[in-house]
A and B are shown apart, each in its own frame.
Chain A
């Protein structure tokens, strides 16, 4: 969830193409939502997004249905650029667009300033999203600051050719059964694989840890914001488990998005990886001409989500009602399905996940896996929305560095690196 840097983010959202074969665009149906404002008032709305949200055609459609509305679409090249812009202008109190797209990673800090955003709660959008998606953007006292767009439900991607060489099952249903539903069974399968193969089992210790820690409700902080990261036995246990697996030779010792990591896709660098929906496109791009990739419909330790975005209406907007109406329309299931078809952004709306168009999606690169169905299943499996307070990103950065020191750089052992992590957390105070 954290480690999505500049290059990665571009790759993630732009390459994101989940093979779409069976979709001829349905009849144009203006899913017009009820606007409580004067329908003849001329307004110009600005919409700021980054990477690819797939909104180009939708904007034209909305303007055709609402002749009084003109939409100016500003697209930032990277999410980091958009984030810096947003932080600066939020602080300045002016200059933001009427609708600002944000990533889930920015929420811990933005949720501390709910007054800077319009409350988007309304009966029209109640239960539109998966409950955990809406909860991510909801404050403790129930204010909704963002409408969910896409999500990144996680499954496990694997190399069936390497599995076959090691004498493991290759069929995706059997693999899902073998990987099991707990992290213990996942590592167990890895140890069985390592006995028969020289290829490392997991692509990134950091990504595995991230997936594990996101299944803990209060890993780093209590609900009142008290930091418990360094003395929480649960966190220490996950840390030790991942690093034990690394010591046992299951890790590829790669930092995600590094040049070595990108190169490893072409060199049988590893056998399995945590893969959110948008990662499929990244794998396909990095592993061009590599045969054998497949995706298993399971995720150890319960479901997991990595990434995803929201549309917010900053309180400084001059046309909050119109902006809210447009944001609600753009994030409605019908529109999100169209965005998915345009740019592959995986929808977060309950109705969209159940749609036959999504179920029909298969991905030829992943051995014709029904990725639409698999990822929809994975999205429904998410149950925990981890608490992310003020210090969440700082602590998470620090523990990821601690893992890197042991797993990748090998400058420290697990115990020494943990000591440095404790110091780093104290430094945040």
Chain B
């Protein structure tokens, strides 16, 4: 009896609970569904970032751990160092030398591979081959080729009567040598990205152009390049992020890996490594430079973004004008 009565009384309560649960469900579940991304982002993205900032505010030794709080002292210290600015110069110089040539060369290679050639797959795999080689192995081979006295490149230059170039002692030659390593490794990869995008361009556009009598060159400039724009932007942004963090190639360019006696080719990431793991073992300063590099990359990224927007908007303006006409 009483059970029944209780049961009757409970019924509405249970449904209220269910209602509350289902209300909670509609409110919370969507967040739970998307939470894995945010949890992962927090763990591997945001936390290291914030923690690095925390470290950069302290005297922090690699072995000894946290020291006293020093505020922005680490930042002012590294910004006063000549080495920091040399590193910045080298980073941008190597980035421009490798990024620009790489993108241009990849565009041309992709255009060639996009033609009707024999053994397509063979060539396409061929350009990717250098990408498979470990960067350190590339570094070892290239540093032998670029040796100042006994290197292959200087012997070849000597054979055609050019004085040997001091690849390790002078600033620009060392940057060119390192950019060559980077290009060797990445051009093929970028080529494949461009090639994939090129194949997505509808054939009809080219056929129409051909009927109008456009030359191959004209087709490339007026159809291929404009239609690759989003891909080019993607490649440039990833190249920027990667290029500003360049480490492996300059690190193995000589035997000590500190960027030369006069810091001819020491990049910012090498400077970070030297501060944190070199003789100073100062994580605080290394973290400070890491944060500065992070801000620089964001700045360059914003610059890229603004440029992209300008290109896109100028494009749409033009089409609007055409529509009016």
Contact = CB atoms under 8 A, between A and B. Distances in A.
A260 B254 contact: no
A35 interface: no
Nearest to B263: A401
Interface stretch (A14-22, A47-55, A351-359, A403-411): A403-411
A394 B255 contact: no
A258 B254 contact: yes
B4 to A, nearest CB: 63
B48 to A, nearest CB: 16
A5 B65 CA distance: 26
A263 B262 contact: no
Contact of B281 (A109, A257, A402): A109
Contact of A397 (B81, B255, B279): B279
Nearest to A5: B255
Given A260-B147, A260-B150, A397-B279, A87 B260 contact: no
Contacts of A400: 261
B261 A87 contact: no
B224 to A, nearest CB: 42
B187 to A, nearest CB: 25
Contacts of A393: 278-279
Contacts of B258: 397, 401
B261 A404 contact: yes
Contact of A258 (B63, B64, B147): B147
The number of chain A residues touching the other chain, given as a range, is: 35 or more
A256 B256 CA distance: 9
A113 B281 CA distance: 13
A408 B168 CA distance: 10
A258 B280 CA distance: 25
Interface string B60-82: 00111100000000000000011
A113 B143 CA distance: 38
A405 B147 contact: no
Nearest to B62: A87
B144 A259 contact: yes
Contact of A428 (B169, B261, B280): B280
B277 A87 contact: yes
Contact of A259 (B150, B257, B278): B150
Given A255-B254, A257-B256, A393-B279, 13 more contacts: A112-B64, A256-B255, A257-B255, A259-B143, A259-B151, A391-B279, A394-B280, A401-B261, A409-B168, A409-B260, A409-B264, A410-B169, A411-B262
Contacts of A90: 63
A5 B261 CA distance: 15
A427 B279 contact: no
20 contacts: A5-B255, A6-B255, A7-B255, A84-B277, A87-B62, A87-B277, A91-B62, A91-B64, A255-B254, A257-B255, A258-B168, A391-B279, A394-B278, A405-B261, A409-B168, A409-B261, A409-B264, A410-B169, A424-B83, A428-B279
Contacts of B64: 91, 112-113
A263 B279 contact: no
Given A259-B143, A391-B279, A397-B279, A5 B262 contact: no
Contact of B147 (A6, A112, A259, A394): A259
Interface of B: 62-65, 81-83, 143-144, 147-151, 166, 168-170, 254-258, 260-262, 264, 277-281
Contacts, number: 94
The 8 closest A-B pairs by CB, nearest first: A404-B261, A394-B279, A409-B169, A263-B150, A393-B279, A257-B255, A259-B147, A260-B149
> Which of B143, B170, B262 has the most chain A CB atoms closer than 10 A to its own CB?
B262
B256 A5 contact: yes
Nearest to A113: B63
Interface string A63-84: 0000000000000000000001
B81 A427 contact: yes
Contacts of A188: none
A267 B260 CA distance: 25
Contact of A91 (B63, B144, B151, B257): B63
Nearest to A3: B256
> Which of B82, B143, B149 has the most chain A CB atoms closer than 10 A to its own CB?
B149
Contacts of A402: 261
Contacts of A427: 81-83
Given A257-B255, A405-B261, A423-B82, A263 B169 contact: no
Contacts of B281: 87, 109
A401 B262 CA distance: 7
A301 interface: no
A392 B280 CA distance: 10
Nearest to A116: B63
Nearest to A110: B63
Interface string A244-258: 000000000001111
Nearest to A261: B255
A412 interface: yes
Interface string A157-178: 0000000000000000000000
Contact of B255 (A91, A258, A263): A258
A8 interface: yes
> Which of B82, B143, B280 has the most chain A CB atoms closer than 10 A to its own CB?
B280
A271 to B, nearest CB: 17
A420 B143 CA distance: 27
Contacts of A110: 63
A87 B281 CA distance: 10
A87 B255 contact: no
B169 A408 contact: yes
Nearest to A409: B169
Interface in A81-119: 84, 87, 90-91, 109-110, 112-113, 116
A243 to B, nearest CB: 13
A87 B280 CA distance: 13
B311 to A, nearest CB: 42
A88 to B, nearest CB: 8
A15 to B, nearest CB: 16
Contact of A408 (B63, B257, B261): B261
Nearest to A256: B255
